[in-house]
A and B are shown apart, each in its own frame.
Chain A
Amino acid sequence: MNRSPARHPLVTAYVDALLRAAAPLPRPRREELADEIRSHVDAVLPPDAGEARVREVLDRLGTPEEIVDAEFDAETPGPRGEPPRREPPVREPLRRRDVVGLLLVLVGGFAVPPVGYLVGAALVGTSRRWPVVVRVLLVGLPCVAAVVVVAGMVRDGHWYLLSDLVTDPRGAARDFLGIGVWALPFTALQAAALLVAHQLPLPRR
């Protein structure tokens, strides 16, 4: 005969179910929890406990899922005793101006560069749909970089002149196309990062 009530088939089945339910827990805690339950059963049941008594003790323990749920409560940093705080990400849908801003960031290089791009960046940079830190990193810094690059090219005479728009519209259009294509990999990356950041459950500040 098994001396330890924890070796009763009903108890081993219960502990197995507990271990399965506790799969998301770190392994050491999972095993500790199983030990605690075995030890509990050993403490409350006499060695010769019958099946009915074993069932009663397991019923009183609650379901394995209930125990594991309580375990997740334990990792809750919020007010104690509340259910697990797995808050849905606070994600507000993009408005039309946000979408226009993203599109201008993406293809702004083609539209009177760098004006189109900067307008797009301004729309996104002032939108509360992204946390401040994201706007600084993904909009502010690239803008500064763009302005520095353009200023350098203007200084070196590699940038188009506004007067070209009147005197040589075809040449200006070619320039826009060239700049847009050159900038596209960067702006595509930036727009993609902004879209991803919008999907992430980031804190507002």
Chain B
Amino acid sequence: MAPDERSSLVHLRRGLVEFCVLALLRERERYAVELVEVLSRHDLIAGEGTIYPLLSRLRARGLVTSAWQESPSGPPRRYYGLSGDGAHALARFTSDWAALSRSVDEITHEEGGTA
């Protein structure tokens, strides 16, 4: 793959990771290490440390809430939850993404050269 194509994919993935984080917070609060574990497993984050700037951005935009909680083992942990705005953003993204991925699938797989 050409470097340009690779870099567009990297950018695309980065943009999507934010919504994956919001989705992971939909069911329950989580702390950063838990989020990183899931994202790494799906190969969605390169440097695990970049989760912190990402969470800071989501906090600044009011999409997540955060609170320090005592941990059963070790130092206190900062737990993140989905805010009302975050839930709205996620709902909007989920429907946009469904439509987008359907369109991309149709064009790349089904219609191919005739599209």
Report A's interface with B, CB cutoff 8 A.
Answer: 4, 29, 32-33, 36-37, 39-40, 42-44, 60-64, 66-67, 70-71, 73-74, 79-83
Q: Could you tell me if B11 and A67 are in contact, using CB atoms closer than 8 angstroms? A: no
B47 touches A36 (CB 8 A): no
Q: 9 closest Cβ contacts across the A-B interface?
A: A62-B47, A81-B15, A81-B14, A61-B49, A74-B57, A70-B50, A70-B53, A71-B53, A67-B49
**Contact residues of A: prevailing secondary structure:** helix
Known: A36-B32, A80-B15. A74 touches B49 (CB 8 A): no
Q: Does residue B103 face the partner (Cβ distance < 8 Å to A)?
A: no
With a cutoff of 8 Å between Cβ atoms, the chain A residues found around residue B47 in the complex are 60-63, 66-67, 70
Which A residues are CB-close (under 8 A) to B107?
none
| Beta-carbon contact of B15 and A79 below 8 Å | yes
B85 within 8 A of A: no
Q: How large, as a class, is the contact surface on chain B? A: 20 to 34
Main secondary structure of the interface of B (DSSP, over half): helix
B52 touches A33 (CB 8 A): yes
Q: Are B12 and A81 in contact (CB under 8 A)?
A: yes
Are B77 and A60 touching (Cβ within 8 A)? Answer: no
Which residues in A have their C-beta under 8 angstroms from that of B36? 40
- Tell me if A70 and B54 are in contact (CB < 8 A): yes
Determine if A81 and B16 form an interchain contact, defined as CB atoms under 8 angstroms apart.
Answer: yes
Chain A residues with CB under 8 Å of B54's CB are 70, 74
B60 adjacent to chain A (CB < 8 Å): yes
A80 proximity list for chain B (CB < 8 A): 14-15, 18
- B50 and A67: CB pair below 8 A? yes
Q: Are A66 and B49 in contact (CB under 8 A)?
A: yes
Decide if B74 touches A40 in the complex (CB within 8 Å).
Answer: no
Is B48 a contact partner of A61 (Cβ separation < 8 A)? yes
